[in-house]
Every structure is written in C-alpha cells, then in structure tokens.
Copies of this chain bind each other. A is one copy, B any other.
Amino acid sequence: MSELRKDPVTGRWVIVSTDRKKRASEFERESVQIVADPLCPFCEGHEHMTPHELMATRSNGSGPNGPGWNVRVVPNQFPVLRVEGVLDRQGEGLFDKMSGIGAHEMIIESPRHDETLATMSEAGMDAVLWAARERMRDLKQDHRFKSIIVFKNHGASAGASPVHSHTQLVALPIVPRDVRDELEGAEAHFLAKERCVYCDILRQETRDGVRLVAENAEMVALSPYASRFPFETWILPRRHQSHFEESWPHEYHALGRLIADVLRRMNRALESPPYNLLIHSAPVSDQASDHYHWHVEIIPKITKLAGFERATGCYVNPTSPEEASEVLRGVRL
C-alpha cells in the first residue's frame, strides 16, 4: 500500500510507497568519482584560469588570485545572470519579461581537487559556510536582488559540471516560485497558529524520533514527513531564524558538523551518491520574520524524474522517510 502525505509547509502531496520497501541497494546508482584533471581551473596554482576572486580565506597572508587560500569565491565564467546593466521590465503583448540581471558566483570549497564536504577538515567546512554568509551579506546590499539561492551540485547526474567541489550562489531580481510557496505556506501556518511551522516540525520530530537522522546542540537532521525523494534529508537550526546569513558562528560550525555527518552516512549507505545541497533562506529583500525558518536540504540523486512528476509536481517516493532515517541512523561512522 502507498500513502499520500501532505507537506505541512507547502501543502504539496507526495505519494510514499510504504510497502515496496525499496532498499538502498536496489537503486540504480552512479557513485561519484573525483577524476583527476591537470587543467582544473579550481585547483590551487590555477588561479589565473578563473575570473578575479571576489573573496578568499587565506591563512598565510598570500595575495589575491594566487595560491595560499582555503576557500575562494569567483564569478561564474558562464553566468546565468549578469551583474552589469539595468533591470529593465518590459511587456511583449501578453507576455512579461525582464533583463537577466543578477549574480552568479562559485565558492571553490578547497584548494585540493579530491576533497569534498564529506572529507574536509572542520575548519575547511567552517570557511565554506562563512563564505556563503559573507557573499550573501555583500550581495544583499544591491537592492536589485530579491533572493539569493545557495546550492551545490555534486556529481554529473546532479548537474555538476566542474568536478572540483564547489557551491554556487545565484542572486535573483525575483523571488522564485518554490521559495514563495514555502514562505506563503509558513505564513499561513503562523497566521492560523501563531507558531512557526518549522519549529512545530522540530518539536514533533525530536519528540517522536522515528524520522531523526542525527543531531547536535544547535542543529537537527531529519527525513521530512512528506519526503519527495528517497533519503531526502533536512537540517534545521533549533533556534528560530528566518535568514541563513543572520546566524551565529557557532551555528555555522554546528551546521557544518551535521552536513559532514549526513554526507558521510549517505556515502556509506548509498555508495557516494550524486546529490544536491540547497540552503533555503528567506528572501534577502524580506525583514527577519517569525514565520520562516532557514534550513538545508540534502537530496541524493538516485531516482529519475519522469512524466508524472513533470505533469503534476507531485512526487512518487519509493522509500518511506521512516525507512530512510532508519538506514541513515544505523550507519556506523
């Protein structure tokens, strides 16, 4: 038998198979291999192969655009949106468009080609998250930008083209639909109950425990009740906060520890799967709010989307979140 489950934030229904018990080993998997590349533009010593850096953490007093860094942020060489220009809004008969103004940056997470978020040092992970925060705080000064999306594609079938571990950051002159859906859902819950829906989720899940994956003093990792994808995992801060970039240093550190923990569990249980990691945060153009709660989503790419999902936005998930969290909890690290 399967169940229809409703996401408590967006109201989106998901079909969860609770009988098929598709085990981790049954998925067609592509293990991510980090292939060496002597021409990788993201490797230390190849700084001349990227656009000039926007920021870097450098421990040894080295100068910009040369070796000696831990994390380096550069503009994307083939940006989907560009910083230069005027935000021009136009109609074309029935249709509406605006010029492709935005920013598209790459956070190069390590000087080493073969390092990943699952293997790097605690200090390295801290520097990656701090770089995301700093770039968001810088870009939000530009009032053309309404939202900033921070996301990571790991492995070719999750959409990564450079192999060298990196996170991307796109600043947009709009608030995208899925972000708006979450905001509106969270706001509706708050209006009805005077409570943040994510705080409610945290309370119920930490009490029940059946969908918990791991936790530490500041952060909780869980399989969401209406998981769209097998082994989808969310990491939420225990402290209510709408904007990722407004968190405290010890929270970034705790987040980094839990990201590494979850990725190592996935690497063991699912044999180094491709994945997307997404930071969901309130639009930079919004004030701090009582109803939205930033969080991280980690989604292993082990199933294919097909026509049904395309036609409906309703996902069929062959692995129940209770089973996924049991598998991930059970991994011995």
A positions within 8 Å CB-CB of B: 1-6, 8, 10-13, 15, 17, 20, 78, 80-82, 85, 92-100, 149, 151-153, 156-160, 168, 170, 172-174, 176-179, 181, 197, 200-201, 204, 208, 225-226, 276-280, 297, 299, 304-308, 310-314, 316
Q: Are B13 and A174 in contact (CB under 8 A)?
A: yes
Q: How far is the CB of A228 from chain B (nearest CB, A)?
A: 9
**A10, A100, A178, A307 interface centre (most CB from chain B within 10 Å):** A307
User: What residues of B have a CB within 8 angstroms of the CB of A153 in the complex?
Assistant: 306-307
Distance to closest chain B CB from A21 (angstroms): 13
Q: A177-B12, A310-B276, A313-B176 are in contact. Are A5 and B97 (CB under 8 A)?
A: yes
Contacts of A158 in B (CB 8 A): 304, 306-307
Determine the main DSSP class of A at the interface with B. mixed
Say whether B200 contacts A8, CB under 8 Å. no
Contact check, B310 vs A299: say whether CB atoms are below 8 A apart.
yes
Q: Are B310 and A95 in contact (CB under 8 A)?
A: no
How far, in angstroms, from A225 to B20 measured CA to CA in the complex?
A: 41
**What is the count of identical protomers in the complex?**
2
Contact of A97 among B4, B99, B305 (CB under 8 A): B4
- Nearest to A11 among chain B residues (CB) is B177
A301 smallest CB distance to B (angstroms): 9
A-B contact pairs, 20 of them (CB 8 A): A1-B100, A2-B81, A2-B82, A3-B98, A4-B99, A4-B174, A15-B80, A15-B100, A94-B201, A152-B307, A153-B306, A170-B308, A172-B312, A177-B312, A178-B313, A179-B312, A276-B307, A276-B310, A279-B311, A297-B311
- Apart from A4-B100, A159-B307, A178-B313, 13 more pairs, CB < 8 Å: A5-B96, A17-B80, A80-B308, A93-B204, A95-B226, A151-B310, A152-B307, A159-B305, A176-B313, A179-B311, A179-B312, A277-B307, A278-B310
Given the contacts A159-B304, A276-B307, A276-B310, A225 and B177 also touching, CB distance less than 8 Å:
no
Assuming the contacts A159-B304, A173-B4, asked whether A311 and B97 have C-beta atoms less than 8 A apart, the reply is no
Whether the pair A176, B80 counts as a contact (CB closer than 8 A) is: no
Measured between alpha carbons, how far is A38 from B5 in the docked complex, in Å? Answer: 39
Residue of B nearest to A308 (CB): B151
Q: How far is the CB of A298 from chain B (nearest CB, A)?
A: 10
Complex Cα–Cα for A299 and B311 (A):
11
Q: Which residues of chain B have C-beta atoms less than 8 A from A152's C-beta?
A: 307
Q: Is the CB of A8 within 8 A of B94?
A: yes
In the bound complex, how far is the Cα of B95 from the Cα of A13, in angstroms?
11
Bound together, the chains give a CA A131 to CA B14 distance in angstroms of 27
